[in-house]
Structure formats: structure tokens, C-alpha cells
């Protein structure tokens, strides 16, 4: 069988399947389920690196992990948010332009990250301390929060989601330094995730 099969890839694969399920839900008009599955994909992504670090891996296994993580991220945090926001615009063709640009920026950032991460691992030991630009995975919190808030406040979701995706897309490819979340940062993201989960459940 081509590939590597061990426990370090399980969360990545589960996240991918969650993202695919979210795309199916969004395509069929089930916005709440799509947003919830986006949150699940984000949860899987938050801990897949931690799980992978518990096993001593070969160079090939590490590079395989980088590739499948970014490929999964493109589906979960690129395609899925784009489909969700396209659905929120009542599937009008003109409003598909911004989700398309968002997906393109996500693709560019993930491809750049793969190259940068492989170069970094050749020169450094351990995990990175900073990101350059907004990580694509942040859409797992940003999109459900603002869509849920927009629904709760009865805001026009077509405008909310279009402007949101445009700003996030630009942030993906803007080269500002962003510190990688540590223990307290991850706790804060979990708390934000719980708050967003409640907003989606009761607001959408």
C-alpha cells in the first residue's frame, strides 16, 4: 500500500473526512451541520501535530505528514469555507468570485508553507515558533463565528461572508509575523471554539 499508516495520521484523516462531510452538508443547504463539521476539522487539526510529535518518524514520514496535512487543510479550510459562504449568498454566480479568490489564496499559502516548512526542517530541530501570514486553519473559528453571529443578529449573510472571505484571503498571503500559539494560546482557542460552537448551535 502506498503511503504511511500509523496513529500519527489518524487525526489528519478524520479532519479531512469532516471537511468532506461539511462540503456535502453545505451543498445540500444544511448550514448548521457544515459549520459544526468545520469546527470538528479545526479541532482535529489543532492536535494532529501534537500526536505526530509523540512518535519518532523518518524524514520521509515527516515530509509525508507535511503534504497530507496541507492537502487536508485545503479541503477543510479552503474549499469548505468557500462553499459555505457561496451558499450564504444564495448561490449567485457573481458572488462565487470572492470564494474563488479565497480558495486561490489558501492554495498559494499552503503550497508556500510546504516549501518553507521543508526548508526549515532541513536547517532547524523542533517545531516552528512563528508563522508568516495568517494560517489557513484559523478559518475553522473565524467563519463559524461570523456566520453564526450574522445569523443571530439577522445580518445580510451575503455581505458578511463576502467581506469576511476577502479580508481573510488577503491575510493568508500578507507576510506579517504571527507567533505560534503555545499552551495558553491553545486553551484560548479551545474556549473560543466552545463559544463559537454554542453560537452556531443556538444562533444558526
142 contacts 196 by C-beta, under 8 angstroms: no
- Tell me how far apart the alpha carbons of residues 109 and 102 are, in angstroms, rounded to a whole number: 11
pLDDT in tens, 63-106: 888 889 999 999 999 999 999 988 888 766 567 789 999 999 99
Residues forming a β-bridge with 131: 178
Residue 203: which pLDDT band, with cuts at 50, 70 and 90?
A: confident
Least confident of 50-64, 81-95, 115-129, 135-149: 115-129
- Tell me how far apart the alpha carbons of residues 171 and 174 are, in angstroms, rounded to a whole number: 5
User: What does the block give as the cell for 153?
Assistant: 443578529
Q: What's the confidence (pLDDT) of residue 138?
A: 94
- Tell me how far apart the alpha carbons of residues 33 and 156 are, in angstroms, rounded to a whole number: 20
| Owning domain of residue 97 | 7-203
114 contacts 67 by C-beta, under 8 angstroms: yes
Q: What average pLDDT does range 4-22 have in this prediction?
A: 92
CA-to-CA separations, 140 to 91, 125, 151, 156, in angstroms, rounded: 21, 28, 17, 21
Packing angle of the helix pair 97-123, 157-172 (nearest 10 deg): 30
Residue 136 lies inside a defined structural domain of this protein: yes
pLDDT in tens, 60-69: 888 888 889 9
- Does residue 114 carry a pLDDT above 80? yes
Q: What's the confidence (pLDDT) of residue 126?
A: 65
- Does residue 201 carry a pLDDT above 80? yes
- Does residue 54 carry a pLDDT above 70? yes
Element holding 136 (H helix, E strand): none
**What CATH number is given to the structural domain containing 146?**
1.20.120
In the chain, alpha helices (H): 10-27, 31-52, 59-74, 80-88, 97-123, 139-152, 157-172, 183-203
Residue 14 lies inside a defined structural domain of this protein: yes
Q: What's the confidence (pLDDT) of residue 188?
A: 85
Residue 2 lies inside a defined structural domain of this protein: no
Residue 79 lies inside a defined structural domain of this protein: yes
Q: Hunting for cell 510529535 — which residue is that?
A: 53
Higher-confidence position of 59 and 12: 12
Count up the domains in the chain and report the number.
1
- Does residue 183 carry a pLDDT above 80? no
Q: What's the confidence (pLDDT) of residue 147?
A: 92
Average pLDDT, the chain: 88
Residue 40 lies inside a defined structural domain of this protein: yes
- Tell me how far apart the alpha carbons of residues 197 and 144 are, in angstroms, rounded to a whole number: 8
Least confident of 89-103, 137-151, 186-200: 89-103
Residue 159 lies inside a defined structural domain of this protein: yes
- Does residue 109 carry a pLDDT above 90? yes
C-alpha 97 chain-centroid distance: 20
Q: What's the confidence (pLDDT) of residue 64?
A: 87
Residue 82 lies inside a defined structural domain of this protein: yes
77 contacts 139 by C-beta, under 8 angstroms: yes
Query: Which class for 66: exposed (0-12), middle (13-18), buried (19 or more C-beta within 10 A)?
Result: middle
CA-to-CA separations, 182 to 128, 129, 130, 188, in angstroms, rounded: 11, 9, 11, 10
Residue 1 lies inside a defined structural domain of this protein: no
Amino acid at each position: 500500500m502506498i503511503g504511511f499508516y500509523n496513529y500519527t495520521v489518524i487525526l489528519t484523516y478524520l479532519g479531512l473526512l469532516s471537511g468532506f462531510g461539511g462540503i456535502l452538508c453545505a451543498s445540500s443547504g444544511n448550514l448548521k451541520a457544515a459549520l459544526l463539521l468545520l469546527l470538528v476539522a479545526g479541532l482535529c487539526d489543532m492536535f494532529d501535530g501534537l500526536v505526530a510529535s509523540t512518535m519518532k518518524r523518518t524524514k520521509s514520514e515527516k515530509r509525508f505528514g507535511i503534504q497530507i496535512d496541507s492537502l487536508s487543510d485545503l479541503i477543510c479550510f479552503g474549499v469548505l469555507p468557500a462553499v459555505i459562504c457561496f451558499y450564504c449568498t444564495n448561490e449567485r454566480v457573481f458572488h462565487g468570485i470572492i470564494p474563488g479568490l479565497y480558495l486561490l489564496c489558501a492554495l498559494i499559502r499552503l503550497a508556500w508553507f510546504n516549501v518553507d516548512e521543508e526548508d526549515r526542517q532541513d536547517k532547524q530541530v523542533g517545531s516552528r515558533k512563528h508563522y508568516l501570514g495568517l494560517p489557513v486553519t484559523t478559518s475553522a473559528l473565524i467563519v463559524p463565528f461570523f456566520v453564526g453571529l450574522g445569523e443571530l443578529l439577522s445580518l445580510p449573510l451575503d455581505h458578511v461572508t463576502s467581506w469576511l472571505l476577502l479580508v481573510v484571503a488577503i491575510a493568508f498571503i500578507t507576510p506579517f509575523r504571527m507567533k505560534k500559539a503555545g499552551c495558553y494560546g491553545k486553551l484560548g482557542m479551545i474556549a473560543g471554539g466552545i463559544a463559537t460552537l454554542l453560537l452556531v448551535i443556538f444562533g444558526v
